[in-house]
Amino acid sequence: MAQLRQDYSEFVRRDAEVLVVGPEDAPAFADYWQREQLPFVGLPDPTHTVLKRYGQEIKIFKLGRMPAQVIVDRAGTARYVHYGHSMQDIPPNEEILALLDELNATSPE
């Protein structure tokens, strides 16, 4: 999440909102968000409802949920999905920002 915080203003500049969904409960999420001073939205999902809907994988031998990045447009359509195979398998912000630029260039206002 540090890389998201680092470039958060670039996401905002592209009229995008960052939403992080995690399996923790609300108090744990609130504590982490306050402690780390994260500028974007965090959604606790202790029942894994949202995480399951978007197909985030669990790999027991890798100690839990694998990272997933999804770009959802204003109509609610998933326009990009990346499912990581390890906790290090996260696309760099530059890649996501370039995808947002493409989507914004082809999206009708």
1 compared with 99, residue with greater pLDDT = 99
CB burial class (10 A; 0-12, 13-18, 19+) of residue 29? Answer: buried
What is the structure's pLDDT at 3?
Answer: 87
Collapsing DSSP states into helix, strand and coil, what is residue 69? strand
More confident: 22 or 102: 102
In the chain, domain spans: 2-106
Q: 14-71 pLDDT, tens per residue?
A: 999 999 888 889 999 899 999 999 999 999 988 888 877 877 766 555 556 777 888 8
Provide mean pLDDT across the span 5-14.
94
CATH of 2-106, picked from 3.40.50.300, 2.40.170.20, 3.40.30.10, 1.20.120.80, is 3.40.30.10
Cα first-last separation, the chain:
30
Which pLDDT does position 96 carry in this prediction? 94
For β-strands 64-65 and 68-72, DSSP reports them as unpaired
- Residue 11 to residue 7: CA distance in whole angstroms: 7
What does DSSP say about strands 58-59 and 41-44: parallel, antiparallel, or unpaired?
unpaired
